[in-house]
A = this chain, B = another copy of it.
Amino acid sequence: MASSKQDVRISIAVAGLGRMGKRHVRTLLNRVSAAQVVAVCSAEPSELDWARNEYKDWGIQVYDSYEQMIQHSGLQAVWVSTSTDVHASQTIAAIEKGLNVLCEKPLSTDIEEAKRVVEIANQNPHLKVMAGFSRRFDASYRNAKAQITNDAIGEPFVIRSQTCDLIDDTGFFVRYAKKNGGMFVDCCIHDLDLSLYYFGDVIPKAVWAVGTIAHHPELKDLNDVDNGVGIVEYWGGKIAYFYCSRTQAHGHDVCTEVVGTKGKVMVNLVPRLDNVTVAQSIGISHKVQPEYWERFEDAFATEANEFIASIVNNTPVPLKLELGLMSLKIGWALQEALLTGERIRFNEKGEQLDGGRARL
């Protein structure tokens, strides 16, 4: 029994020890006082070796099986940070085991499977199940939302949003691309979610997208691109347009603009690592965050703290699980437009009228 709130500790396990899994462990250890990491798991022998050494003094059990990990004695929550193709099945298994779950986005590469996760979560309302749309925990995106809510820009009607990653020469991205569902499902999903965040409840009317391969020719065989541009027209005269890239030279360049009838709010239009600027003979310059981790590290800590707090206090999770379904659906339509060259329409209920091949 905890003698004080300082002694409350939720036992949590992290599934997946890729780049992000390791970072989530570090966040939980250092920045989430109310969490105790009791277990991790991976299917990669090298990650397991690394973890056994790294975590040996930290009271963290290392498993090579997700199924075994979720049976860890006293376990209360799981952070699912594996590849997208197993997000849904692992989340469902954890729920069925009676565990709270924070599942990385997107819930699935299949819309039906994603719906099933939501269904099962809804059948277990005592458990906290949340999808990791980390940007919704970022202070700047939240401030932008507050400005819009407070009518600083009037009625929003156009959104531009981009997710542009630093070029990756290690081959990591291409290997990962096989399992992630494609540019608009994986990379653009946050931007799609932001368009829903700022527009409110909107239904897609038509989408189109094009793409190009600027650096990774291997993507051709995977039916994907490393740079894509898409437009989503929503019913009601609202438009969102997107640029996603895996090949930026200068760093992680993620920005969003929301245009309204009385103004425009911009988040991170010119990215910068910190507030240092250097003047030299070549001009005046500043560095850029190399990866989304540096841009969103604080958001991930906020997300973890708010998720853990919802367990501690038995309050609703900060993001409804259903939120991810609509962005997933639009992401698939954009991906289909990209592959077929056709524009994809929806009726006013949000049912897709054209195509449907890409989703199979």
- A→B interface (CB under 8 Å): 3-7, 29-33, 36-37, 57-60, 139-140, 143-144, 147, 152-154, 157-158, 160, 206, 208-215, 227, 229-231, 233, 237-239, 241, 243, 245, 247-251, 253, 259-288, 305, 341-343, 345
Contacts and interface: CB of A to CB of B under 8 A. Distances in A.
Contacts of A267: 275-277
Given A157-B212, A214-B237, A279 B263 contact: yes
Contacts of A288: 279, 283-284
8 contacts: A6-B37, A140-B274, A143-B276, A212-B237, A229-B231, A229-B239, A267-B276, A341-B345
A296 B206 CA distance: 36
> Across chains A and B, which 3 residue pairs bring their CB atoms closest together, nearest first?
A4-B59, A285-B285, A250-B279
Given A158-B227, A210-B231, A233-B210, A58 B144 contact: no
Contacts of A238: 212
A202 to B, nearest CB: 12
Nearest to A4: B59
Contacts of A273: 143, 283
Given A3-B59, A6-B37, A212-B239, 7 more contacts: A212-B238, A248-B259, A249-B281, A250-B280, A253-B264, A263-B278, A341-B343
A139 B273 CA distance: 10
Contacts of A241: 229, 231, 241, 243
Nearest to A31: B31
A140 B275 contact: yes
A270 to B, nearest CB: 6
Contacts of A213: 237
Contacts of A278: 147, 152-153, 263-266
A37 B343 CA distance: 52
Contacts of A268: 275
B250 A231 contact: no
Contacts of A210: 206, 231, 233, 239
Given A212-B238, A280-B153, A283-B287, A245 B274 contact: no
A5 B276 contact: no
A33 B31 CA distance: 7
A140 B276 CA distance: 6
A104 to B, nearest CB: 23
A158 B268 CA distance: 20
A343 B208 contact: yes
A217 to B, nearest CB: 11
Counting chain B CB atoms within 10 Å of each CB, the highest count among A160, A230, A277 belongs to A277
A310 to B, nearest CB: 16
Contact of A58 (B5, B262, B276): B5
Contacts of A239: 210-212, 227, 229
A36 B209 CA distance: 51
B263 A280 contact: yes
B249 A280 contact: yes
A251 to B, nearest CB: 8
B285 A283 contact: yes
A230 B233 CA distance: 11
Contacts of A231: 208-210, 229-231, 241
